């Protein structure tokens, strides 16, 4: 019996109940033999609820005597048919799962983002390198932080409005973002630059530039937050004629031509600049979702001198 248990557990991790089914033995009888094999160190076990799963200990097969016992046990299991039944027993594990997911469930809102999105982003973090520091300039209510905080080791969120930072702070506390620092500062202020030292791997600025009196100067300040080789992402509108936003949202500019943004990037000393339009279906339901959005991406030159470090 123990030779057969050892051989089956060497082929697949199995519960005591599954071993009893394969060997056509009572569970108490199988449990007694499994206990002896575990006590000798030949089997290891782990609990899954009320079930005990056992498998051959990794070092066991390296022993010549155990290897001989396994070979003998496999021959016995081939002879009694238990080894041939192994695959069907393993497949039976997911029958309840298959039945569960085959049932009709409550319809989900296809447009709604998954509640576990932050967990997915955290799981993907290793795919983004380098990711030591991200800066969210003009963070507002902190919406970008739900993207940046799970991915980056440290995040600095800047905004000139204490009212906006209060909203961002609520988000930070509710999510438990211990890696986020909130700073009340104008983007162009030296305080902002000090807060972002030694330089960010990523600088984001979403729908802020059209509020700036001097957007070119603002982009230059944003570029100063990035380390050499760091990436700058600026989200803003393409030109539009919706002057309601001018009155209701205090917009200074009704969007920017892509060439304007590229010109700002060039004047700021950035390289590899490009613009892309964001798909309309990805713009949410806010008061500006009907506008055309674009993103400017550009990098600080990798060979930038040490001016930033000494500033």
What's the whole-number mean pLDDT along residues 2-25?
A: 94
Q: Is residue 110 part of a domain?
A: no
> Same domain for 92 and 183?
no
Q: For residues 176 and 305, give the distance between their C-alpha atoms in angstroms, rounded to a whole number.
A: 37
For residue 278, which of 252, 296, 257, 259 has the smallest C-alpha distance? Answer: 296
What's the whole-number mean pLDDT along residues 194-215?
A: 95
Indicate the angle between helix axes 64-80 and 82-91, nearest 10 degrees: 80
CB contact at 8 A, 82 and 23: yes
Q: Is residue 107 part of a domain?
A: no
> Same domain for 253 and 171?
yes
CA 274 to the chain's CA centroid: 26
41-88 pLDDT, tens digit per residue, is: 999 999 988 999 999 998 887 889 999 999 999 999 999 999 999 999
- Provide the residue range defining the domain that includes 53: 2-102
Q: Is residue 109 part of a domain?
A: no
**Helix and strand tally (H, E) in the chain?**
14, 10
> Same domain for 95 and 144?
no
Q: Is residue 277 part of a domain?
A: yes
| pLDDT at residue 245, as a whole number | 79
> Same domain for 206 and 73?
no
157-178 pLDDT, tens digit per residue, is: 999 999 999 999 999 999 999 9
Q: For residues 74 and 305, give the distance between their C-alpha atoms in angstroms, rounded to a whole number.
A: 68
Task: State the CB neighbour count (10 A cutoff) for residue 185.
Answer: 19
> Same domain for 81 and 187?
no
Count of structural domains within the chain: 2
Q: For residues 182 and 24, give the distance between their C-alpha atoms in angstroms, rounded to a whole number.
A: 65
Split at pLDDT 50, 70, 90, the class of 110 is: low
Split at pLDDT 50, 70, 90, the class of 104 is: low
Beta bridge partners of 159: 184
Q: Is residue 111 part of a domain?
A: no
- Give the range among 9-13, 275-279, 284-288 with minimum mean pLDDT: 284-288
CA 160 to the chain's CA centroid: 29
Q: Is residue 75 part of a domain?
A: yes
CB contact at 8 A, 297 and 270: no
Q: What is the CATH number of the domain that holds 218?
A: 3.40.50.150
> Same domain for 71 and 133?
no
Examine the fold and report which residue of 102, 133, 160 is the final residue of a domain before the chain moves on.
102
Q: Is 0.85 topped by the overall pTM?
A: no
> Same domain for 83 and 206?
no
Q: What is the CATH number of the domain that holds 69?
A: 1.10.10.10
Classified as helix, coil or strand, 277 is strand
Q: Is residue 108 part of a domain?
A: no
Split at pLDDT 50, 70, 90, the class of 308 is: very low
> Same domain for 174 and 70?
no
> Same domain for 153 and 232?
yes
> Same domain for 198 and 96?
no
> Same domain for 222 and 298?
yes
Examine the fold and report which residue of 77, 102, 127 is the final residue of a domain before the chain moves on.
102
Examine the fold and report which residue of 42, 72, 102 is the final residue of a domain before the chain moves on.
102
Q: Is residue 50 part of a domain?
A: yes
Burial 89-108 (b: 16+ CB within 10 A, else e): beeeeeeeeeeeeeeeeeee
Beta bridge partners of 203: 135, 232
Strands 51-56 and 14-15 come out as: antiparallel
Task: Kindly tell me if the per-residue pLDDT of 123 is higher than 80.
Answer: yes
Place of tokens 């799981």: 123
> Same domain for 200 and 172?
yes
């Amino acid at each position: 019996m123990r030779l057969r248990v050892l051989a089956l557990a060497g082929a697949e991790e199995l519960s005591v109940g599954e071993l009893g089914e394969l060997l056509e033995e009572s569970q108490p009888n199988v449990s007694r033999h499994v206990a002896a094999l575990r006590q000798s160190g030949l089997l290891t076990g782990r609990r899954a609820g009320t079930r005990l799963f056992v498998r051959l200990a990794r070092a066991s097969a390296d022993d010549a005597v155990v290897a001989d016992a396994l070979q003998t046990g496999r021959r016995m299991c081939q002879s009694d048919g238990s080894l041939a039944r192994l695959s069907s027993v393993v497949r039976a594990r997911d029958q309840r799962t298959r039945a569960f997911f085959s049932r009709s469930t409550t319809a989900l809102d296809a447009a709604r983002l998954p509640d576990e999105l932050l967990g997915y982003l955290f799981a993907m973090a290793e795919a983004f390198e380098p990711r030591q520091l991200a800066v969210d300039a003009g963070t507002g209510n902190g919406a970008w932080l739900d993207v940046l905080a799970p991915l980056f080791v440290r995040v600095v969120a800047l905004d000139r409005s204490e009212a906006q930072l209060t909203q961002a702070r609520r988000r930070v506390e509710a999510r438990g973002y211990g890696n986020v620092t909130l700073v009340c500062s104008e983007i162009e202020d030296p305080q902002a630059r000090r807060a972002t030292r030694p330089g960010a791997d990523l600088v984001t600025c979403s729908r802020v530039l059209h509020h700036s009196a001097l957007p070119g100067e603002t982009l230059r300040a944003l570029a100063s937050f990035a380390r050499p080789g760091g990436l700058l992402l600026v989200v803003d509108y393409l030109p539009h004629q919706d002057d309601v936003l001018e009155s209701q949202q205090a917009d200074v500019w009704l969007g920017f031509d892509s060439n304007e943004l590229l010109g700002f990037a060039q004047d700021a000393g950035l390289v590899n600049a490009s613009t892309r339009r964001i798909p309309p279906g990805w713009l949410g339901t806010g008061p500006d979702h009907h506008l055309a959005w674009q993103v400017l991406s550009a990098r600080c030159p990798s060979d930038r001198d040490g001016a930033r470090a000494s500033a």
